[in-house]
Structures are given as structure tokens and as C-alpha cells.
Amino acid sequence: MKIRFNQPGKKTPDDDRGVRIQYGEAKRPGRPWRWYLILIVASLPLLYLSGLILQDMIVIKASGRVQVPLVTVRSTSEGYVQQVFVKPLQTVTQGTKLAMLANAPLENSYNRLRSEINFLDKEKDKLLVQADKTASSAVQLMNFAREQRDFYLNRLRQYELLFNQGAATQAESATARSQYASALGNLVSLEGTQLQGRGLMPEIRQIATRINQLTLELDKTQDLRRQLLLTAPANGLITELFAQPGEYLDQGQRLLEIIFPEQAYINAFIPPKYLDYAVVNQIVTVTFPNGETAEARITSVPGVTQKSTADDIGPLEAPRSAILAQIELIDTVRTRLISGMPVDIRFHYFTR
């Protein structure tokens, strides 16, 4: 067997079996950085995944929602809207007048009670003056009548003693007895008059009891009248008006809405695996949608869990439970706080 080894001919990059190929001279030398670039681009998914794992180990994240307290001011009783002192989007301070209601039956009841109390007060004053005058004159007459009784009693005893001794006549003794009987009768008459004066006291007490009852009703009515003037409970912002002057409102019907941005807080939804971070006074960093960050503090952990909302989960994720915690901002932020605004919350690993 014969084996023949033919040495292949030398090939050139611009010659393919006799056909000349046109190549640019600059493309012939190898460029190593191109291979590095291809390797880096191919490794980007792995680098991204590694970065997420490293970030999850260093920074603990949770989602949150801004909550701005909102109060719906309602009518305290039925009546007409007499005046509205505010406008939508107006900033108010605590105690600012919001609106004034008018309730005709309540006003009539208040005026009736005041009139009746004033009348009874005058009647009671008249009876007290009459009783005082009667008591004063009766006391003076009673004292004088007692003195007369004692005087004629002593005189009667003297005449009886003298009559027994034969120094006085029977007529003189009879005269002394008659004078004593007259003084005693006068005293009994004055005592009866004094009892009649005391008879006014039950009537005075009855009037005073009625005045006390009416005063209690008047105080309740006055409290209801004060509630017709609606004031702002705290510094806030009027968002919407539901009634205008002249409209009739039933009790409990909406009048206006007011929000309190100064009392805004954040509801944080912390994954259960980060339970150790859900403690009061834990410092966190809040990131708003516009990129602004601020320091905040956990104020309370009610001890309940809440399902994550559809906005907080991806299309392929299932709803999950999270620990609810309330957070208040420490720093002043320039971002306008809107109720329901989503925020990101970071618990730093090194502050654990």
C-alpha cells in the first residue's frame, strides 16, 4: 500500500480557489477588545442577578403607601346652611369657622326656655321678698308679744299673791287675769301669722326645682346651638364642598371634606421574613416616586398582616401577606404628600 501525503497549499484570505476576495486591510488583524465586549454583554444577566442577590443581602426593602387623614364634616342636626366661610383648596387652621347652620325649632326651644326661666326667677324673687318682710315683721311682733305675755303673767301672779294676803281686791285680780289672757291670745294670733308666712317656702322650693330642670334643658339646648357652628379640628386643607348656603341638610349629611397633611403617615408592608425589623423606633429610609428620600421612624406595629395590593405585585406573582406597620417622617420633605402614593422603604442591614 502506498500512502501519499500532499501538503496543502498555502491559503490567503483574499484568494478562494483562484477567486480573489476583496477584504479591507483594517479588518484583517484581530481585535481582542471585541471579544471582551461580547463576553461582558453575554454575562450581563448573570451580573444583574448577582447584583440583586447582593442587594437583597445588604438592603432590606418593603413597600408602603402614604396615608393622609381625611375627615368628612357632617351636619350635627337638620337645618339650613346659613353661611359657609371657606372655599375648596383653602388652607385652614385649628378653630377656623367652616360653616354655620340654622335650626329654627332649636332656636325657638332655646328662646322659650330662657323666657320661662326669667319669669320663674322673677316670681321666686317676689315670694322671697314677701317671705322676708313677713318673717321680719313677725319676729318683731313675736318678741313684743312674748314680752307682754311675760309682763302680764308676772303681774297676775303678784295680784294673786296680794289677793291671798288680802292686800288686793278680787276685781284687781280679775283685771290682771284678763290682761294676761289678752296678751296670750295676741301671741297665739301672731304665731298663726308666722306659720302662714312659712307656708310660702314649699312654693318657693317648687319654683326653684322647676328652674333647675329648665336650666338643665337650656344647657343641653345651648350645646346643640354651639354645634351648629362647625370649626376645623386641626390645621388642614379643604378638598371639597358638598353644600351651599340656603340648602337644607338632614342630620349627618355631608357638608365638606378636609384633609390634614401635617398628620400624614405611611403604612408599611414588611415581608414576614423580615419580622425582626418590624419594631417600634426602627429608623428607615423612605424613597418617594420622584426620587426624594427622607428618614422616618416606625411608630407602631398593630400586630396584623395585610394582603398586598394588585399594584404592589408583578403579573406573575401571587398575592402575599405582609406585616403592617405605621411610619412617621422625621425629615421635612418637599414632595407633596398624596394619600395612596406608593413609596419604597429600606431597612439597612448594618443598622439591624
> Global pTM?
0.55
Judge if 175 and 194 occupy the same domain: yes
The residue among 206, 241, 261 that closes a domain is 261
Number of structural domains the chain divides into: 3
* CA distances for 233 relative to 98, 129, 259, angstroms: 10, 49, 11
Q: What is the pLDDT of residues 223-268, one digit of tens each?
A: 888 888 888 988 999 989 998 898 998 888 999 999 998 889 999 9
Flag whether pLDDT at 70 surpasses 60: yes
Both 232 and 205 in one domain: the answer is: no
Quote the crossing angle between the two packed helices 200-227 and 170-198, to the nearest 10°: 10
pLDDT of amino acid 92: 92
- Ramachandran region of residue 166, left (φ > 0), alpha (ψ -120 to 50) or beta? left
90: domain CATH number is: 2.40.50.100
Q: Is 78 helix (H, G, I), strand (E, B) or coil?
A: coil
**162 grid coordinates:** 296680794
Q: Is 212 helix (H, G, I), strand (E, B) or coil?
A: helix
List the grid coordinates of 285.
429610609
267 and 256 in one domain?
A: no
Split at pLDDT 50, 70, 90, the class of 15 is low
What pLDDT score was predicted for residue 155?
A: 74
Query: Residue 287 domain-assigned?
Result: yes
Last residue within a domain, chosen from 210, 225, 240? 225
Any idea what the CATH number is for the domain that residue 270 is in?
A: 2.40.30.170
- Percentage of the chain exceeding pLDDT 70: 69
Assess whether 196 and 120 both reside in one domain: yes
What pLDDT is attached to residue 335?
87
- DSSP H or E segment with residue 41: helix 32-58
User: Which of 21-35, 164-178, 238-252 is predicted with the least confidence, judged by mean pLDDT?
Assistant: 21-35
**Banded pLDDT at 5 (limits 50, 70, 90):** low
- The CATH number that applies at residue 118 is 1.10.287.620
| Secondary structure (3-state) at 97 | strand
Looking at the fold, whether 154 and 195 belong to one and the same domain comes out as yes
At residue 257, the pLDDT reads: 93
The answer to whether residue 51 sits within a structural domain is no
Q: How confident is the model at residue 87 (pLDDT cuts 50, 70, 90)?
A: very high
pLDDT at 219 over 70: yes
Say how far apart CA 166 and CA 159 lie, in whole Å.
Answer: 10
Q: Please state the separation of Cα 267 from the chain's center in Å.
A: 21
CB 298 within 8 A of CB 326: yes
Same domain assignment for residues 329 and 220: no
Which 8-state DSSP code applies to residue 278? -
Kindly give the pairing relationship between strand 283-287 and strand 70-74: unpaired
Lookup: cell for 14: 483574499
**Quick check: 99 pLDDT over 80?**
yes
Residue 74 · residue 99 · CB < 8 Å: no
Specify if 6 maps to a domain. no
- The dihedral region occupied by 17, where left means phi > 0, alpha psi between -120 and 50, and beta the remainder, is left
State the CB neighbour count (10 A cutoff) for residue 333: 15
Banded model confidence at residue 328, pLDDT cuts 50, 70, 90: very high
**Most confident stretch, 121-125, 129-133, 171-175, 318-322:** 121-125
- 298 pairs with which residues across the strands? 327
Residue 303 resides in a domain: yes
Rounded to an integer, the average pLDDT of 34-43 is: 80
The residue range of the domain holding 77 is: 70-102+227-261
195 and 115 within one domain: yes
> Are 109 and 86 found together in one domain?
no
Q: Is residue 48 part of a domain?
A: no
How sure is the predictor about 26, in pLDDT bands with cuts at 50, 70 and 90? low
Residue 152 lies in a domain: yes
Q: Do residues 193 and 231 share a domain?
A: no
Q: Are residues 139 and 118 in the same domain?
A: yes
Say how far apart CA 100 and CA 233 lie, in whole Å: 15
Taking residues 288-298, what's their average pLDDT?
91
pLDDT for 143 equals 67
Lowest mean pLDDT among 104-113, 131-140, 337-346: 131-140
Across residues 300-308, what is the average pLDDT? 79
8 falls in which pLDDT band (50, 70, 90)?
A: low
Residue 44 lies in a domain: no
Q: What are phi and psi of 42, to 5 degrees?
A: -70, -25
Q: Report the range of poorest mean pLDDT among 64-73, 161-170, 276-285, 293-302.
A: 161-170
What pLDDT shows up at residue 172?
A: 72
What's the pLDDT at 339? 86
Provide the pLDDT for residue 352: 43
Are 62 and 86 in a shared domain? no
Percentage of the residues of the chain whose pLDDT score is greater than 90: 15
Q: Is residue 266 part of a domain?
A: yes
Q: What integer pLDDT is reported at residue 104 of this predicted model?
A: 87
Please list, in sequence order, all residues whose beta carbon lies within 8 angstroms of the beta carbon of residue 71, skipping any fewer than 6 positions away. Answer: 233, 236, 257, 258, 259, 260
Kindly state the average pLDDT of the residues 337-349: 85
**Secondary element (H or E) of residue 345:** strand 342-348
Give the mean pLDDT of the chain. Answer: 78
Pair 109, 221 in one domain = yes
Q: Sorting pLDDT into bands at 50, 70 and 90, what band is 316?
A: very low
Angle at 93 between CA 92 and CA 97, to 5 degrees: 70
